[in-house]
Every structure is written in structure tokens, then in C-alpha cells.
């Protein structure tokens, strides 16, 4: 912006907000992140080069200025502007997806690449992507990575998928040095070959920035605020959420989803499907409680559980979201506005 334009805007009563110097991120964004932008500076031959990448530098800046409790008004303001820009870009991206159904997968960040359920989530997400669904997750490691790997490999022949999972399993946890490097090696192998990679949406947060996000997602809506990110992640999955085994974070998301369904805050009741019957009925017996909570509410008929990938896909296809009409009560409409 030229000084002439700046002065003209100010003289007309406008406001100009300038970026503070040395910010490692752009607050006023007009698009989501791509893997190339977020991991710019990373070289898979040198795993420690991740510390030079944009993602890691933004996380370091976030910690420097107070983390979840921002110590600086200026930095807090620009983080909020950034997050609002991401939200706008997120909805623009979803609008561009035409009539694709949006389904999310929630599950534990500690799920290892060697776990049987990791493979299940890969194949489940791959099948749904091939069927025209847009897959969404929290964008981290574990079950979240498996979600985007499955979408990424949607157009790869079946015999190659297990080989790719086996290769990745050499670094089974995000705590392993070559976890990120091995993912980029797979990406180069697929994108550099004759196979098209599938589209998916990751919604991670720098609140958990100690965990690198998965690079398998094609579009990344990364937030500073975890609360905004969590609510948005649940809300965009209008056509259902699949809950793979997880711990506190996944259980929190289950009840956030149940709350949205219970109070029909989006105008729809959406499917809730649990993967792993033993886990969700015995190890972490959340499923019976959610069923009891639903009672006779519309979403009660949209709650399912199975160990079978095919059964879960069939459940989602045969249980579309249900529009629930009704006027929400509010004080002014009830008591204070004129009535005919």
C-alpha cells in the first residue's frame, strides 16, 4: 500500500491495521493452508529441519507470547484475525465442494501406524472418499493421520495400500524421528507417479503444536484457538462422525457432537457411528450412555456401532442427516416484541 493510498483511507475515516513486524504467519489470509506452505522449510532427508518449517515457527511464536493465555493484546488480536480468516476460507472451500457429503473421523492421536484400527481407518476413509465423501479430521497424528492417508490414497490400486502402511510403520508413532519424513516420502512417491491424490480437510490447532500435523491432508485449516477449532470441526461434519478408539479428546468430541444433535443447533440431526464395539461398550463404555442420552430425540435413530468397515459405510449411506424444524425460543420474541 502506498503512502498516498494510506493517507487517503485515513482522511476518509477508514482504518488501516498493519501487521506487526516479524510475525511468522499472515493474519489476513484468503485461503486455507496447503502442505507446501505449512511445511515450507522442511526437508525429509533431515527430520530436524521441521524446526525451521513455517508450522514449527508459528508454534514457537505462539508459545513465546503466552500460548493458550496470550500475554500480549496485539498478538492476541492478530491471532483472532488469523482464525477468523481461516474460518472464512474454510466455508469458501466447503461451498466449492458442491454437494459432497462431509464426514469426519475422530480418534486417538496415539494410535500407532502398526495398530489394526489404523489400517481400518485408512481403508474406511479411502472407501468413503472414492464414494464421493469429503473426509475431515482434527489433522494430527494417529487416527487423524489414517483418515487423511486413506483419502490421499483413494486412487491408488488396492495392492499398493498395504505396502504403504507397512513402509510408514517403520516409524509407528509421531514421537519417532522419521514419522514426518516417511510421510513425505510417500507423498513424493504418489504425487510424482501416475496416481492422483485424493482431497481431504484437516482442522488442527497450534494448541497441540508439539505434535506435527499430518501432511496427507490436501487442505489444512489450522487455528490458534482450540475451542473455535473443536466446535467448527464438529459443526462442518453435517453428514456424520465416525468415532475410532481414543481417549479424553475423542470422548470430549463425542459429547460435543451429542450436544449439537440433542439441541439441533445446526438445524440437522447427524449420524454418530462408533468403530470398535468392545472398546466403546466395555473399555470406554460411552456408547450406551450416548444411546441413553438420545432417548426419543431424532438423532437416536442415527447412532450406530460396528467392527466392520462395510457396515459403517452402509450405515452412513442409509442414515442421512435429518432436518429438524422448529423455532428456537428466546426472551424478546416471547415477551417483548409486538404480537399480532
Torsion of CA 104, 109, 110, 112, to 10 degrees: 50
* Whole-model pTM over 0.95: no
**What pLDDT score does 20 carry?**
75
- Bin 213: left if φ > 0, else alpha if -120 < ψ < 50, else beta: beta
Q: Dump pLDDT digits (tens) for 283-337.
A: 999 999 999 999 999 999 999 999 999 999 999 999 999 999 877 788 988 899 8
Domains of the chain as residue ranges with CATH: 100-322 (3.40.50.450)
Q: Which residues contact 306 (CB under 8 A, 6 or more apart)?
A: 273, 274, 275, 277, 312, 315
Q: How far apart are CA 230 and CA 83, in angstroms?
A: 13
Residue 198 pLDDT class (50, 70, 90 cuts) = very high
DSSP-based helix, strand, coil % in the chain, nearest 5: 50, 10, 40
What is the residue whose three cell numbers read 489414517? Answer: 146
Of 167, 152, 148, 184, give the one whose Cα is nearest residue 41.
Answer: 184
Beta strands in the chain (DSSP E): 102-106, 134-137, 200-202, 219-220, 241-243, 268-269, 272-275, 303-306, 322-323
Sign of CA dihedral 233, 237, 240, 242: negative
**What pLDDT score does 115 carry?**
98
Q: Dump pLDDT digits (tens) for 60-70.
A: 999 999 999 99
Q: How many CA atoms lie within 13 A of 302 on its CB side?
A: 24
Distance set, CA 85 to CA 20, 79, 216 (Å): 17, 10, 23
Average pLDDT over residues 7-34: 91
**What pLDDT score does 325 carry?**
83
Angle at 150 between CA 149 and CA 152, to 5 degrees: 60
Average pLDDT over residues 9-24: 88
Residue 340 pLDDT class (50, 70, 90 cuts) = low
- Number of residues that make up the chain: 340
Helix (H, G, I), strand (E, B) or coil at 304: strand
**What pLDDT score does 130 carry?**
95
Amino acid at each position: 500500500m502506498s503512502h498516498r493510498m494510506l493517507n487517503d483511507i485515513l482522511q476518509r475515516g477508514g482504518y488501516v491495521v498493519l501487521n506487526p513486524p516479524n510475525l511468522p504467519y499472515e493474519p489476513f489470509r484468503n485461503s486455507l493452508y496447503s502442505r507446501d506452505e505449512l511445511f515450507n522449510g522442511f526437508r525429509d532427508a533431515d527430520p530436524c529441519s521441521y524446526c525451521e518449517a513455517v508450522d514449527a515457527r508459528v508454534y514457537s511464536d505462539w508459545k513465546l507470547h503466552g500460548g493458550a493465555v496470550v500475554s500480549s493484546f496485539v498478538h492476541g488480536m492478530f491471532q483472532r484475525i488469523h482464525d477468523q480468516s481461516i474460518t472464512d476460507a474454510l466455508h469458501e472451500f466447503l461451498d466449492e465442494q458442491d454437494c459432497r457429503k462431509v464426514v469426519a473421523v475422530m480418534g486417538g492421536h496415539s494410535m500407532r501406524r502398526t495398530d489394526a484400527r489404523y489400517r481400518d481407518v485408512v481403508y474406511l476413509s479411502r472407501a468413503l472418499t472414492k464414494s464421493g465423501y469429503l473426509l475431515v479430521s482434527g489433522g494430527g497424528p494417529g487416527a487423524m493421520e489414517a483418515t487423511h492417508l486413506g483419502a490421499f490414497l483413494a486412487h491408488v490400486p488396492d495392492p499398493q495400500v498395504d505396502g504403504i502402511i507397512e513402509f510408514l510403520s517403520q516409524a509407528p508413532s509421531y514421537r519417532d524421528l522419521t514419522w514426518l519424513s516417511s510421510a513425505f516420502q510417500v507423498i513424493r512417491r504418489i504425487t510424482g507417479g501416475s496416481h492422483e491424490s485424493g482431497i481431504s480437510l484437516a482442522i488442527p490447532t497450534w494448541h497441540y503444536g508439539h505434535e506435527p500435523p499430518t501432511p496427507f491432508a490436501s487442505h489444512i485449516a489450522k487455528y490458534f484457538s482450540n475451542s473455535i477449532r473443536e466446535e467448527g470441526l464438529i459443526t462442518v461434519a453435517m453428514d456424520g462422525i465416525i468415532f475410532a478408539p481414543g481417549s479424553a479428546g475423542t470422548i470430549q468430541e463425542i459429547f460435543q457432537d451429542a450436544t449439537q444433535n440433542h439441541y439441533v443447533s445446526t438445524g440437522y440431526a447427524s449420524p454418530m457411528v462408533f468403530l470398535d464395539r468392545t472398546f466403546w461398550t466395555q473399555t470406554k463404555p460411552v456408547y450406551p450412555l450416548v444411546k441413553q442420552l438420545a432417548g426419543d430425540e431424532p438423532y437416536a435413530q442415527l447412532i450406530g456401532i460396528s467392527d466392520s468397515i462395510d457396515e459403517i459405510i452402509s450405515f452412513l449411506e442409509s442414515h442421512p442427516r435429518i432436518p429438524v424444524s422448529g423455532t428456537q425460543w428466546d426472551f424478546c420474541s416471547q415477551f417483548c416484541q409486538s404480537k399480532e
